[in-house]
Structure 1
Amino acid sequence: MAKRKKRTKKKSSSTLLKYTAWTLAIIALVLTSLIVGYYLGVNNEKTKTIVKEKVIVKEKKTAKIPKAPVSVNKRLKEVLKKETKAYASAAHEIDDETLANPPKAKAKKVEIYTSKPKLAIIIDDMQTTSQVRAVKSLHLNVTMSFLPPRAARPNSAKLASHEKFYMVHLPMEAMHFSAEEPHTLRIYDSQQKISAKIKDIKKLFPKVGYINNHTGSKFTANEVAMNRLIFALNTNHIHFIDSRTTAKTMAPKVLKNFGLKYVSRDVFLDHHMDKPYILKQIKKAIAVAKSHGSAIAIGHPHKNTLQALYESKDLFKDVELVQVNKIY
């Protein structure tokens, strides 16, 4: 009996030691895992902090470096790069190159003015969002003249509606021009037809108070056609500004018969598309304004024309750039 009791005690002690050993091993394993996890977490946080600090330092360095200003030339290229070139040059408007310059027959006296001479610059052929953006990027007080909408430019009237002041560039029959606009006024159009077209223009452009002719060398040289047009415009309280696309224009005679003032373009800026020529024409327009108190110049939303206007900002300090309605 005594021997059995001793064996039972030995077995119990051995089992207890085994359980104790396993328990301690498990506790040691858990503690080791916790310690390792802690250090890994700390290191991970340190790494994140270092990365964040590096990013912040990089951002600060980047913020300190000022961005190079985008040149107006590049900006104009960007806004006009999607535009299709409708014409090889702006010469489609007039038949004779001499007409691009101030008319010699125009009897304007040279006078001394107490106020700054006024210069109105009309930008013809306006029809797309990119053109409007390009013109506005100049930050110059110029007058935009919008072509009536058609399939290729359905939003021209909508674009004009956002402007406080604008003109309509009304297509009229030309002597020599194949790329004619839809709904062009023709010399054989009846009074009823011309009046209806002007009413349509008024509906499309409710704020319009001034129009100038797009091409129109044949139409404006026809006295009967011009009588019909001026009658329709006068009925709708719209003023006519002669783009002077022909030396044979009948606009002065017709307007005089209606008891209205004749106003025309003095200088055509971009008959040729090279920038030196356009810069020379801008100087001519300023000279006319200085001599006579006011002048009207016409250009188009082409890259070289807009670039030349931008580069002439210092020259414009000698005149007051105004909308057409401040002259007529």
Structure 2
Amino acid sequence: MTALPVTELTARARDIFQRVVEEYIASGQPVGSKTLAADGTLNLSPASIRSVLADLETAGLLAAPHTSAGRLPTDAGLRIFVDGMMRVAEPTREEQAAIEARLAGAGPVEAALKQASAILSDLSGAAGMVLVAPREQRLAQFSLVDLGQGRALAVLVGEDGAVENRVIQIGGALDPGALDRASNYITARLAGRTLAEAAAAMRAEIGKGETQLDAASRDLVERGLAVWSQDAAARPVLIVRGAANLLDDAALGDIERVRSLLEDLENKQSVAELLDSAREADATRIFIGSENRLFALSGSSVIASPYRDREGRVVGVLGVIGPVRLNYARVVPMVDLTARSLGKLIA
């Protein structure tokens, strides 16, 4: 069923619909006519309100989970509310200052990214997510350590001080000096370059016969550099914080939905693809429930915004995932603010 456009609602229906959505977002429970009539702001009897609720249900904006229950907004109804009726709660100067202080005090960019996901989780009461754009590490130091049994530990130190370790297979026994020669070659000749640049330069030198490395050392160099480029290409860098927030009292009443959502979050490749679809957005994007195939079963919403470096280039996406009753009016501007604040820290 196609939902009725908000422009075709009467003023009375519009007011009642807005009240239902706002009450549902606040409580997570279906909203009945007695609740709407109780405070007197609508100045209507429960019977009159019930008649309008029935019309809104027929129009595809509301649904009744049980015959005797109140109404809750459909995904289509939430979309209409978000796009045309929501009153955005802009962050205060104090909130903006607090967010910027938390990000700036986090330390290196990697720590700030993790802090951003934690901030989003705290602000939304749901789970915060940050998709880190592929950023090739630049080499500062590289070493290989013999582990025996045909294995070596490759240790990469980046220019930003980050240290990563990988175990690589090296075949049979090696001259101990081959490990040192390979390590010294990479550090001395390839430092300051990305992995892709280092691998290309290495292949060019070997192809021209300009390297003094023996065959065993050349093989170690190739294996040592390849392990990082292969690993980075196969694994999206997705930081998720606050998944435990999804297990609130309301969620526990629908444990299957929560289980489905947590399984979706485990599938980081699919979540990363969804967030990545917001990279080119001019503003914060909102995915509501069944609008997105990935979260159709879990009935979840995602609010996502790209973040840019100081030159305005999109370098990643951050956002929030939670139940469809997210407080969109508050979370949307907070996601946007966090994206802008994070961008100020990225060179």
Pair in the same fold by TM > 0.5: no
Q: Compute the TM-score of the two structures, normalised by the length of structure 1.
A: 0.24
Q: Compute the TM-score of the two structures, normalised by the length of structure 2.
A: 0.23
Query: Is the radius of gyration larger for structure 1 or structure 2?
Result: 1
Q: Using CA pairs under 8 Å that are at least 6 residues apart, name the structure with larger relative contact order, 1 or 2.
A: 1
Larger strand percent: 2
